[in-house]
Amino acid sequence: MFQKLKQYKDLRNTAKKAQSVLEEVTVHADTEGGKIAVVMDGNQKILSLNIDSALLAPENKEKIEKGIKEVIADAMKKLQRQMMMKMKAGELEMPDMSKLS
């Protein structure tokens, strides 16, 4: 039983370390010629979302919604690439869940 508790503690510590590393990563993405932009950290938290006031009109609603989806998807792809690069470089260790079975 104590072995399982130690494994959970180790897993938790590894996850916290990974989360700290990911908090330091930020990506920027934009669309509509920079009129819709997002900044996201490695934990997929949106730090900022900017929509140019020139787009803020009722007739642009669909364009804005589409742009927000695109910019968030782009930021997520960039984060995934950065995470893979950090893992390959040994800077980021993901918790091994297989030890918990």
Domains located in the chain, CATH noted: 23-89 (3.30.1310.10)
Helix (H) or strand (E) holding 83: helix 61-88
Residue type, 65: E
- Cβ–Cβ under 8 Å, residues 28 and 59: no
Helix (H) or strand (E) holding 10: helix 2-23
pLDDT digits (tens, 9 = 90+) for 70-88: 999 999 999 999 988 888 8
Q: Which residues pair with 36 in a beta bridge?
A: 31, 51
3-state secondary structure of 48: strand
CA dihedral 82, 86, 92, 98 (to 10 degrees): 80
pLDDT digits (tens, 9 = 90+) for 51-73: 999 999 999 999 999 999 999 99
Q: Looking at the chain, how many residues does it have?
A: 101
- pTM: predicted TM-score of the whole model, two decimal places: 0.76
Cα 74 to the center of its chain, rounded Å: 11
